[in-house]
Structure 1
Amino acid sequence: METIREHIEKLMNQRELTSAYQQMIAQALQDEEVHRFLIANEEELAPDAIERGAAKIYEFVSERNKRKKGEQPFAPDYQPTLIVSNHLIDVAYEPTRGKVQADEGRAKAALVTTMNMPKAIANARLEDYDATDRVVALNEATNFVVAQTTDPTTFHQGLYLTGPFGVGKTYLIGAIANYLADQNQASTLLHFPTFAVEMKAAISDQKVVPTINRIKRAPILMLDDIGAESFSPWIRDEVLGIILQYRMQEELPTLFTSNKTMAELTEFLAGNDRGDDELPKAQRIMQRIQYLSREVTVGGINRRLS
């Protein structure tokens, strides 16, 4: 039985290579990568597979060489590969490594929904978080993501990250969200002061209820900067209260950042000029926050100024 190489030589000797096309086919048939494919699949290929697949072989070599030379290929995001189909030679196009990585990046980015959050959190990573004066916070964040990814169907208490402005609270929840996205878990992050303003504007558009429903049902919710700016009792009770009540009942992971401690946030939610009857309402909100999260202090310098 003749070998693949002998068969190709015989085929070339039988043809008059007078045309440019025939010469290109001949060169393609002598390509080392083509030879390896033919030898590896010799038993599966039909006796006339090389003759019938000459154009496919040329297509493969031509498109592959365009990529090597930096020329524009037929399908920029896909690379050719020789395959056996029904005992004949064919060309399939597979996504390039770059396309696969880009698609994975887009898919992971889609798992992190942000509302009025800094762009920098898109690249936040736990491994890049400076642990100086923030070891406890980093450890708590790590423990949370490990628990959440190991057993996502069990309720895990989130974090209430408290500390001065600029110490990295927002970056840390961004890093948590990105880590979870790597494990195919979706998160929603929103800047609560801006969200409160937008909810007031949504009243006239009748979008309050749909927006609350969307936020409260987020698989993992992170409320940033809660308590940074004052908001009305309506926002406290009819927006924040409803969101937190639903998440407490459904045991959905919820995280917070604030420049106020939980005790300070209680006073803030009650308001200094609203009367004593507001305190029980504020305490009810805090009971939900305390159920959903545990308080963790984030220390260190103001990194926005350093």
Structure 2
Amino acid sequence: MKSLSKTMKEIMKSQNFGSAYEQMINQVLNDPEVAAFLKNNAQKLSPQAIERGEAKLYEYFHEKQLISKGTATVAPGYSPQLIVNAGQIDVTYVPTKKLIEQQRQAHIKQLVSSINMPKFIHGASFDHFYTEEPYQTETRNIALNAALDFVDQYSPNEFHPGLYLYGRFGVGKTYLLGAIANELAQQKGVATTMMHFPSFVVEMRNSIKTNNIGSKLDAVKKAPVLVLDDIGADAMTTWARDDILGVILEYRMQEELPTFFSSNFSMDELQGHLTVNVKGEEEPVKASRIMERIKFLSRQYEMAGANLRDK
């Protein structure tokens, strides 16, 4: 596809524009930005180079006008800039602030990956966390402050324990964890993996047939920041507890990777839940091993209050 300047140059040669052409070129040369460019590069550009570059100057002027009118341009999302290239006038196109921001936002969204998580987590933010009356509670405020502190203090070069949020259904645990993930992406450029743990266990069980458990488990356990949502929601088999949850937690403890949890159980209650497997057998030592890792990786915060799903 021919460039705008080349097409224009051919038209100029094939038709006699006369005074109309001179009037148009004068309009271009009197444009403040074009005039400033020519003045700033007077030592680099000969009169012949300026004459040969009239089509390029017009291209710049024309594209700039289209952008100001909100009309489609040759390079949507990019703005023209005049440059001197090997002693000749040329036009280059650079991303606009709007395009750069759009690309930044797209990158941020990619930083937060979710596995079987509700859609609302993608829009979760501290600004919209429910602290107004009648939903404000002391425990919600304490948990929010802990979340704010984590994001503020986070550094990939040192270990920061995550949050273990527990409480009844609908008190905002998952939303707050989503807000943490989004704020880490916005402020720190950090990737977070969020997953509904009971659903992940089902997915891993189904992956046995395709023999790709190892790759999926590796991707989760090595995430820079990991959120395990709804821990303890279902009865857990020995396999899910030891070979899935245990493997994830062991790796993250050894590597000191921030890990977050949500549960309807407090840590003490979760230990009791993990002690009894689906067969009704008690395995207190294995449950204690899991809890030691959870306690190393996170700090416990209760969240109480009205059910926000009724809001």
Instruction: Find the counterpart in structure 2 of residue 197 from structure 1.
Output: 202
Shift of 1:25: 3.4
**CA separation of 1:234/1:276 partners in 2, compared to 1, >3 Å: closer, same or farther?**
closer
Instruction: Find the counterpart in structure 2 of residue 141 from structure 1.
Output: 147
Counterpart contact for 1:17–1:23, Cα < 8 Å:
no
Shift of 1:193: 1.2
Q: Distance in 2 between the 1:273 and 1:152 partners?
A: 38
Q: Distance in 1 between the 2:149 and 2:216 partners?
A: 31
Q: Distance in 2 between the 1:214 and 1:272 partners?
A: 26
Shift of 1:287: 1.0
Instruction: Find the counterpart in structure 1 of residue 254 from structure 2.
Output: 249
Counterpart contact for 1:145–1:179, Cα < 8 Å:
yes
The residue correspondences of 1:158-237 to structure 2 (distance < 5 A) are: 158-182=162-186, 183-237=188-242
Instruction: Find the counterpart in structure 2 of residue 5 from structure 1.
Output: none
> What is the one-letter code of the residue matched to 1:288?
R
* Superimposed CA distance per residue, residues 201-241 of structure 1 (whole angstroms, 9 cap, x where no aligned partner): 11111111111111111111110111112232111111101
Identity %: 48
Instruction: Find the counterpart in structure 1 of residue 6 from structure 2.
Output: none
Instruction: Find the counterpart in structure 1 of residue 63 from structure 2.
Output: 63
The residue correspondences of 1:31-110 to structure 2 (distance < 5 A) are: 31-110=31-110
> What is the one-letter code of the residue matched to 1:211?
K
Q: Distance in 2 between the 1:90 and 1:298 partners?
A: 61
Structure-1-length-normalised TM-score: 0.88
> What is the one-letter code of the residue matched to 2:91?
V
Secondary structure in 2 matching 1:109: helix
Shift of 1:70: 2.9
**CA separation of 1:197/1:276 partners in 2, compared to 1, >3 Å: closer, same or farther?**
closer
Match of 2:272 among 267, 270, 287: 267
**CA separation of 1:87/1:228 partners in 2, compared to 1, >3 Å: closer, same or farther?**
same
Instruction: Find the counterpart in structure 2 of residue 13 from structure 1.
Output: none
Q: Distance in 2 between the 1:43 and 1:300 partners?
A: 72
> What is the one-letter code of the residue matched to 2:62?
S
> What is the one-letter code of the residue matched to 2:257?
L
Gaps of at least 5 residues in structure 1 are 1-15
Shift of 1:270: 1.8
> How many residue pairs align between the two structures?
289
Segment drifting more, 118-127 vs 162-171: 118-127
Secondary structure in 2 matching 1:221: strand
Q: Distance in 2 between the 1:272 and 1:97 partners?
A: 56
> What is the one-letter code of the residue matched to 2:141?
V
Shift of 1:28: 2.0
Please report the RMSD computed on the Cα atoms of aligned residues, expressed in angstroms. Answer: 1.9
Match of 1:297 among 280, 297, 302: 302
Instruction: Find the counterpart in structure 2 of residue 4 from structure 1.
Output: none
Instruction: Find the counterpart in structure 2 of residue 157 from structure 1.
Output: 161
Instruction: Find the counterpart in structure 1 of residue 125 from structure 2.
Output: 125
Shift of 1:32: 3.0
Q: Distance in 1 between the 2:255 and 2:37 partners?
A: 56
> What is the one-letter code of the residue matched to 1:93?
Y
> What is the one-letter code of the residue matched to 1:89?
I
Q: Distance in 2 between the 1:273 and 1:69 partners?
A: 67
Counterpart contact for 1:25–1:55, Cα < 8 Å:
no
> What is the one-letter code of the residue matched to 1:161?
L
Structure-2-length-normalised TM-score: 0.87
Gaps of at least 5 residues in structure 2 are 1-15
Tell me which stretches of 4 or more aligned residues in structure 1 moved more than 6 Å.
none
> What is the one-letter code of the residue matched to 1:116?
N
Counterpart contact for 1:190–1:222, Cα < 8 Å:
yes
**CA separation of 1:51/1:228 partners in 2, compared to 1, >3 Å: closer, same or farther?**
same
Q: Distance in 2 between the 1:96 and 1:273 partners?
A: 58
Shift of 1:243: 0.7
> What is the one-letter code of the residue matched to 1:147?
Q
Q: Distance in 2 between the 1:191 and 1:246 partners?
A: 19
Counterpart contact for 1:196–1:231, Cα < 8 Å:
no
* Superimposed CA distance per residue, residues 47-68 of structure 1 (whole angstroms, 9 cap, x where no aligned partner): 4332121110011111111222
Shift of 1:125: 1.5
Q: Distance in 2 between the 1:65 and 1:258 partners?
A: 57
